[in-house]
Amino acid sequence: MHTPAITGTGVFTPEKFITNAELVTAFNAYVDLYNSENAEEIAAGNAVAKEYSSEEFILKASGIEQRFVIDKSGVLDPEVMHPLLRQRSDDEPSLMAEMGVDAALKALAQAGRKPTDVDLVICAASNMERAYPAIAIEIQQLLGVEGFAFDMNVACSSATFGIQAAADMVRSGSVRRALVVNPEICSAHLEWRDRDCHFIFGDVATATLIERAEDATGAYFQIKSTRCATEFSNNIRNNNGFLRRSRPSGTADRRDMQFMQNGRKVFKEVLPIVSAHIAAHMENENISATDLKRLWLHQANKTMNDFIGRKVLGRTPAPEEQPNILQDYANTSSAGSIIAFSKFSDDLADGDHGLICSFGAGYSVGSVVVQKHG
């Protein structure tokens, strides 16, 4: 048995971002357009008038201040309200693969490794650009990695579930080095015309390199243990899929083809699941709250993270103990906890423990206890 370690992480951040002010201006213009186009139906009681969104609500309810996106123009056009992403030919790299490769190269550079050192690529994300061939295999080919690759989807928990799969293979010796890549084009499965959720998501890609601790060329985070759990819920759901085409005509605009959630229920139901999950994992590892120097949590909602931080540590965490990135990136699904880990882990001292935890649709929750070396 070998000791798995995280030796590098990388983040691809799109160039464009949308502030809450820009988002709300566009959304409210769309509301005006919708209400005037449907004025007669609304007056007759056959349609419901849409209401304005507000910057104050978004910040207060979520803690989000802006989000990065691959395409800004379509999202902010009141007559479009979705990203305009060019259909690429089969000969071109797909968008997810391109974003994933950028993040993967950064993770490799940090670890002092070349793509040819890697023998497994897992593309773990919430929504795949296509069913097959696997995006992971395309990333493998673009990087020039030998070995094998596969896609997996556990929604917002995809990264931690991917890390568990990779760490277990490194531990057993079936692979020597694995890249877990999380390209998240959340802007394309978000319904930007829905006031309840239009502010939630952003686009990004993250990558994590996992290899034997003995192979590390510099400082690394030993993966001490991982723990994954799932429990079925319809409260976060997306019904898009290959059966869409076999439905009767007129279904192209069905609301359930995009991201759907019952945000209040998610908030209430997921918090106890995550708190209990982390507590049990820490107990198993014999790690007390005072041993834990950092929590890198899934980035969906600031109040939610504050609650989990307080529950886990038994006190209000200092901002540096539980870093949030959601104010800049919004919810980036599986990538959120890895962005936080990538940006806020260098300063930990030799021997310090930390915990990465992601949670979301499924329901699903995954946690990784790490210890800094070097």
Active-site residue among 156, 186, 228, 357? 156
For residue 86, the minimal CB distance to ligand COA (Å) is: 27
Query: Residue 29: what residue type?
Result: A
For the bound state, the minimum distance from the C-beta of residue 241 to ligand COA, rounded and expressed in Å, comes to 18
Q: Is 156 in the site for ligand COA (CB under 6 A)?
A: yes
DSSP H helices, 252-365, are 263-284, 302-313, 326-329, 336-343
Residue number, 301 or 322, with CB nearest to ligand COA: 301
Torsion, Cα 130 228 140 173, to 10 degrees, reads -150
Joined together, the tokens standing for residue 187 give: 């802007």
Q: What are residue 180's DSSP bridge partners?
A: 122, 208
Site string for ligand COA, 258-297 (x = CB under 6 A): ---x-xx-xx------------------------------
Least Å distance between CB 301 and ligand COA?
4
Site string for ligand COA, 44-63 (x = CB under 6 A): ---------xx--xx--xx-
Asked if 372 interacts with ligand COA (CB under 6 A), we say no
User: Which of 109, 184, 179, 88 is CA-nearest to residue 140?
Assistant: 179
Q: Give how many residues touch ligand COA by CB under 6 A.
A: 21
Q: Which residue in the shown chain puts its C-beta closest to ligand COA? A: 263
247 binds ligand COA (CB under 6 A): no
Examine the residue annotation and report whether 156 is marked as an active-site residue of this protein.
Answer: yes
- The Cα–Cα gap between 201 and 197 comes to 8
The Cα–Cα gap between 75 and 252 comes to 18
DSSP H or E run through 111: helix 95-111
Query: Helix, strand, coil shares of the chain as percentages rounded to 5?
Result: 40, 25, 35
Amino acid at 340: A
Beta strand pairing status for 220-230 and 236-237? unpaired
Please choose, from the candidates 11, 371, 12, the residue with its C-alpha nearest in 3D space to the C-alpha of residue 216: 371
The CA distance from 162 to 184, in Å, is 14
By CB under 6 A, the residues from 107 to 146 that bind ligand COA are none
In the block, residue with structure tokens 């349609």: 47
Among 102, 168, 196, 321, the residue binding ligand COA under the rule CB under 6 A is 196
Site string (2-41) toward ligand COA, x via CB under 6 A: ----------------------------------------
User: Nearer to ligand COA by C-beta: 162 or 360?
Assistant: 360
Q: Which of 3, 127, 226, 301 binds ligand COA (CB under 6 A)?
A: 301
Q: Using CB under 6 A as the criterion, which residues of the chain lie in contact with ligand COA when the complex forms?
A: 53-54, 57-58, 61-62, 156, 195-196, 199, 236, 261, 263-264, 266-267, 300-301, 331, 360-361
Catalytic residues, by residue number, are 156
